[in-house]
Structure 1
Amino acid sequence: MGSFNLNIGIYRNTFLPPSETFIYDQLINLENSKVKVITRELKYENYFDFRNLDIITLIEKEESPLIKKFKKLMFTLSTSSKKMEKSVKENDIELIHAHFGVDSIYALKLAKNNNIPLITTFHGYDITRLPKFTFFPISYMIYYFYINQLKLKGDLFIAVSNHIKTRLENAGFPKEKILIHHIGINVNEIPFKEERHNKEITFLAVGRLTEKKGTIYLIRAFEKLYYTQKNIKLIIIGDGPLKEDLVNFTDNLKSKAKIEFRGLLKHSDVIKEMLNADIFCFPSVTATDGDQEGLGMVQLEAAATGMPVIAFDSGGIKDGIIDGVTGFLIDEKDVNTFSEKMNILTTNKKLREEMGRKGRNNIEENFDIKKQTRILEKIYEENLKK
């Protein structure tokens, strides 16, 4: 990879939840940077390959469960650690990039006590559902009380979509410190399949079965479509607290035999399902607590395989879809129009393929993680010159 010009710390309180492959993919694509992962605790080693990562961690694996809990609580309450501050200095880290606003509160002292810049990426819930006062998790409460310090002392705030940028501005973050930057996906690792010859037109949805994902509206739209189109199928991948309710709801529908709940699948298996489906559905909505999609990486992956995408115009979703060109954007919870767009694509194979091609082109041009990470490293360099 050659010599490194930058010495960067990537911060996440817990490194790394399985749903955050986008953070892992971004950091391993940093070519001009020597990267140190900085974290309170290391988890999910079996899900990611951590062997080639340099990691600074507060909680050591060999410590007793009681010690781990104590250290986690003290760090969460104090928002600082002398051990971690010392490690940042000893490793000559020049800049810290924290993911999620909540986590950035804990990176703030690490950066400022070492007189280095702090960049924060906001992904969604951290500025749509939060900040708000709550006793649990404790880190959310800390975020509520310390967010104004972050606004004042943070050096740059990256929004993953135009919508997140607007939410940051509305929350009082300085406009001159906000920048839109899409993380992107590994486009070259996702096959493109232009022609699909399924006996049944297959709709696919992928995501946790929560209120925000809006799966109930997709099922209703599919049921409506089934009254006129019998040669269709809906596959739902994911698990979550609403699964039982959704299955029970489906059991009472005429289309129940055409709806499959596949549960959780490995990422590689999700891509295979994308290549076997015809149309991707992304029915996310604004949840009761205000939570919204920051962008939705799964829609980018679906488009990269050559599928048109039908989605509600919620949160930052629109950044990934060119309405009428790569798919359709519909007003939130408008089941009738969602079903109409499903029908249009069901009956028009040529349009499905045309939208699929243009969708792939859009992802290659605007969401290729290698291109986007080169841009990110330029952002790092610019902030180090200030």
Structure 2
Amino acid sequence: MNKKKILIVTRNLPPLIGGMERLNWHIADELSHENEILLLSHKDAQNTAPQNCNFYGVRLNPLPLFLITAFIKTFLICVVKKPDILFAGSGLTAPITVLLAKIFRIKSIVYIHGLDIATNHWLYNTIWIPMIRAADRIIANSTPTQDICLRKGIPTEKICIIYPGVTYPPLPQDNEIIESIREKYHLHDKKILISVGRLTQRKGLNEFVALALPNIIKNIPNTVLVVIGDTPSQSLNKNLQSKELILETAAKHDIAGHILFVGNISEDYVLSSWYYLADIHVFPVKHIPDDPEGFGMVAIEAAAHGTPTVAFATGGIVDAVQNNESGYLVEKNDYTSFTQATIKALHRDEQNWRRNCCDFSAQFAWSKFEKKLIKVLIGI
């Protein structure tokens, strides 16, 4: 493939925290191996952006100002740098990339994550959805996201699925860090459940603590739930939960001593060590049609470390967990079955679990993600 000049426009980049942010970082990084990448995002992302990208920043907030200034700067970059492709990192920036791609007679690609196509807000449906439809190529992050795109009137021939990737093989197991974590948090002889991600209503952690965790602890009293993540401060989704709410719920069931909040973790080796340390990754995402889970990158990250996931079969999670191999998928919102599946998983042979998880996650390696992206670029 001839080297292309690609301008990626996205609001979702670290240090903002979330799966979309990590994915957009990797899109820029993977494409930069064979192409010239121009990356436009919020100013705070400059220090953590991939090194091989030419970065352009605008203010993150308020959102209308971000969109206006991003449009103006994208226009100027197109005039000066003359990119071959405009790439929207989510549906949010699709109007910017698609409209300017039409004006400058170049190609446009939009990566869709789930919520950015499923929302039923009248303004979004009036402006954003038609712009997404007009893109030259739409990449969906899962089979359910593709189905939503089709229901929104996006032509089948424009859509392809590229699942988010994972670092595989993962960072090597650092027993010194793992042991220091055990000591710090008194986790010797504990069965460890981890939840990794932002505390939003969709993630369903408060409901899990109320409706599943008490019975899990009743059956396996040395169980501890470790919560990695926090309530997001910059999220566009305002349906949030909080540490205080979850602890209040736990106190009502007399299990507050079985929950450990460690906050957001930015150090890769530390987060990797938690995955290695955990027995099970729990992913009790609620089924909310207007707020779907697009994929579930954390389930793949857990699997890469040999850690299985127990999750509700909703949204793109059905693509991120292979039932009976990398974990268990449970009928959505069935907390009794979720409890039983978690207890079953904790009793299952650990060695077989870890081997099956690693085998499943290998297909999501970033190197394979890059090849799929390149294939889209060639075909556009």
Structures share a fold, TM > 0.5? yes
Contact 1:192 1:306 in 2 (8 A): no
Contact 1:186 1:369 in 2 (8 A): yes
Q: Match of 1:38? A: 40
Contact 1:294 1:316 in 2 (8 A): yes
The 1:344–1:189 alpha-carbon spacing in structure 2 relative to 1, beyond 3 Å, is closer
Contact 1:191 1:304 in 2 (8 A): no
Shift of 1:126: 0.5
The 2-side partners of 1:260 and 1:14 are apart by: 28
Which digits, 9 at most, give the CA deviation of each residue in 1:166-223, with x for residues without a partner? 0111111111111111130222343369xx9962211111121221001123223121
Of the three residues 87, 92, 101, the one matched with 1:97 is: 87
Which digits, 9 at most, give the CA deviation of each residue in 1:63-92, with x for residues without a partner? xxxxx989x8577469843x5324224323
What letter matches 1:6 in structure 2?
K
The 1-side partners of 2:229 and 2:250 are apart by: 16
Secondary structure at the aligned position of 1:5 is classed as coil
Shift of 1:5: 1.6
After TM superposition, list the pairs within 5 Å mapping 1:253-268 onto structure 2: 253-268=253-268
Contact 1:56 1:84 in 2 (8 A): no
What letter matches 1:132 in structure 2?
H
TM-score normalized with structure 1 length? 0.84
Contact 1:313 1:329 in 2 (8 A): yes
Q: Match of 2:153? A: 172
What letter matches 1:361 in structure 2?
D
Secondary structure at the aligned position of 2:38 is classed as strand
The 1:69–1:169 alpha-carbon spacing in structure 2 relative to 1, beyond 3 Å, is closer
Shift of 1:23: 1.1
The 2-side partners of 1:245 and 1:266 are apart by: 24
Unaligned runs of 5+ residues in structure 2 are 180-186, 232-240
Residue 214 in 1 paired to residue 213 in 2? no
Of the three residues 358, 370, 375, the one matched with 2:372 is: 375
What letter matches 2:273 in structure 1?
K
Contact 1:35 1:54 in 2 (8 A): yes
What letter matches 2:44 in structure 1?
K
The 2-side partners of 1:104 and 1:354 are apart by: 44
After TM superposition, list the pairs within 5 Å mapping 1:13-162 onto structure 2: 13=11, 15-16=13-14, 17-19=16-18, 20-30=21-31, 31-39=33-41, 41-46=42-47, 48-49=48-49, 51-57=51-57, 59=58, 73=64, 76=67, 80-81=71-72, 84-128=74-118, 130-133=119-122, 141=123, 143-162=124-143
The 2-side partners of 1:277 and 1:165 are apart by: 32
Shift of 1:104: 0.7
Secondary structure at the aligned position of 2:10 is classed as strand
Shift of 1:359: 1.4
Shift of 1:52: 4.1
The 1:73–1:276 alpha-carbon spacing in structure 2 relative to 1, beyond 3 Å, is closer
Secondary structure at the aligned position of 1:213 is classed as coil
The 2-side partners of 1:122 and 1:158 are apart by: 6
The 2-side partners of 1:374 and 1:84 are apart by: 27
Greater shift after overlay, 249-258 or 202-211?
249-258
Unaligned runs of 5+ residues in structure 1 are 62-67, 134-140
Secondary structure at the aligned position of 1:265 is classed as coil
Contact 1:204 1:277 in 2 (8 A): yes
Shift of 1:286: 2.5
Q: Match of 2:359? A: 361
Which digits, 9 at most, give the CA deviation of each residue in 1:346-371, with x for residues without a partner? 223x1x3312211111111x210111
The 1-side partners of 2:69 and 2:38 are apart by: 23
The 1:87–1:77 alpha-carbon spacing in structure 2 relative to 1, beyond 3 Å, is closer
The 1:4–1:99 alpha-carbon spacing in structure 2 relative to 1, beyond 3 Å, is same
Q: Match of 1:186? A: 167
After TM superposition, list the pairs within 5 Å mapping 1:229-248 onto structure 2: 229-240=220-231, 241-248=241-248
The 1:362–1:44 alpha-carbon spacing in structure 2 relative to 1, beyond 3 Å, is same
Shift of 1:42: 2.1
The 2-side partners of 1:11 and 1:25 are apart by: 14
Shift of 1:6: 1.8
TM-score normalized with structure 2 length? 0.85
Residue 277 in 1 paired to residue 278 in 2? yes
Shift of 1:264: 2.1
Which digits, 9 at most, give the CA deviation of each residue in 1:238-285, with x for residues without a partner? 212432111111112233322212222225232221111111111111
Secondary structure at the aligned position of 2:169 is classed as helix
Shift of 1:106: 1.4
The 1:18–1:45 alpha-carbon spacing in structure 2 relative to 1, beyond 3 Å, is farther
Contact 2:144 2:315 in 1 (8 A): yes
Contact 1:10 1:38 in 2 (8 A): yes
Aligned length: 355
The 1-side partners of 2:345 and 2:83 are apart by: 51
Of the three residues 5, 8, 15, the one matched with 1:7 is: 5
Contact 1:22 1:185 in 2 (8 A): no
The 1:274–1:151 alpha-carbon spacing in structure 2 relative to 1, beyond 3 Å, is closer
CA RMSD of the aligned region, Å? 2.8
The 1:203–1:379 alpha-carbon spacing in structure 2 relative to 1, beyond 3 Å, is same
Greater shift after overlay, 353-362 or 9-18?
9-18
Shift of 1:50: 5.3
The 1-side partners of 2:105 and 2:339 are apart by: 55
Contact 1:14 1:43 in 2 (8 A): no
What letter matches 1:181 in structure 2?
I
What letter matches 1:274 in structure 2?
Y
